[in-house]
A = this chain, B = another copy of it.
């Protein structure tokens, strides 16, 4: 992925200061524009704040998906998770939007848990580790309220018989050169990691296999996953499938102040299993746009655009545009101090996570009903 820009975005590495507009150019996707939003709202009846705020901001072939919805044959949703650890808010973000799409369009969702990927990419992981995390993550998925009769969750290692038979068709059409160019692999990359993209592509074609007819597939996901689907889209027509469409979101920033949140730095993210005490501590330690002293902040004002607390409100916890703008102005003017915003965010997050945890516990009872098995 190396080029002249000073940031890197691949499915396994996000670093530098991501310029999302440049990423659209680099990846060759399209911006979600007013016309497309209007067309989506024409069906959903309401404008999801993640669209309004430009969080879901990029796409591939969304108009084709809406055509398929309007004229047939309809479409299905596909999203996923690499179970390398517990679920944090950055993971939930696209899932929340996926639920909105499922609710509004009344369509099926295929949810892939790539425990094979996370095992093969991380020398410190055993198959049991990623499998356990996959089931933990599944609880979070179910807790979001996806429609049981229309949602199918699976682990790659457990649904391997079906998945492998699709993946080999993809793998046959992808060269190592392609994976070098798209993912930045080298000769030292292990052959499981090299192979893996064919498993991630396979889910886009799974509904076609299960239904026995070509089925359009829309993938809502963070834009760092796009490279996998560029490969999938190149291959699709040659093996008798539709190219998957995508709608991409930006990545929830780290509490430490930059980039995508990192599972390797637990304090930089809020997990769905965090206690109120942990939430309080993490937000208390978050990077803000505050000045070195209260005096200076009152004088110069804060910097909401680089403030992780403000970003959390913007991306997830305050959908009231007027209230948020008001907060922003008060920060800029020095009227509002960081402690205040942290307190507000802590209350919102604690409340959200506490409700989520209740639903997450109940999810254990119905988990099996969501699972897709060979």
Contacts and interface: CB of A to CB of B under 8 A. Distances in A.
Interface of A: 116, 119-120, 123, 127, 157-161, 164-165, 167-177, 179-180, 185-195, 197-198, 374
14 contacts: A120-B171, A157-B164, A161-B374, A168-B192, A171-B191, A172-B193, A174-B192, A176-B188, A176-B190, A176-B191, A176-B194, A191-B195, A191-B198, A192-B195
Most buried by B among A116, A170, A192, A198: A192
Contacts of A171: 120, 190-193, 195
A124 to B, nearest CB: 11
Given A172-B120, A374-B374, A179 B164 contact: no
B188 A175 contact: yes
Given A158-B161, A160-B165, A173 B198 contact: no
A165 B161 CA distance: 10
Contacts of A194: 176, 191, 194-195
Contact of A116 (B119, B168, B192): B168
Contacts of A123: 172
A127 B239 CA distance: 11
Contacts of A160: 160-161, 164-165
A289 to B, nearest CB: 42
Contacts of A195: 171, 191-192, 194-195
For the complex of A and B, list the 5 residue pairs with the smallest distance between their C-beta atoms, beginning with the closest.
A171-B192, A195-B195, A160-B164, A161-B161, A177-B187
Given A157-B164, A161-B374, A165-B157, A177 B172 contact: no
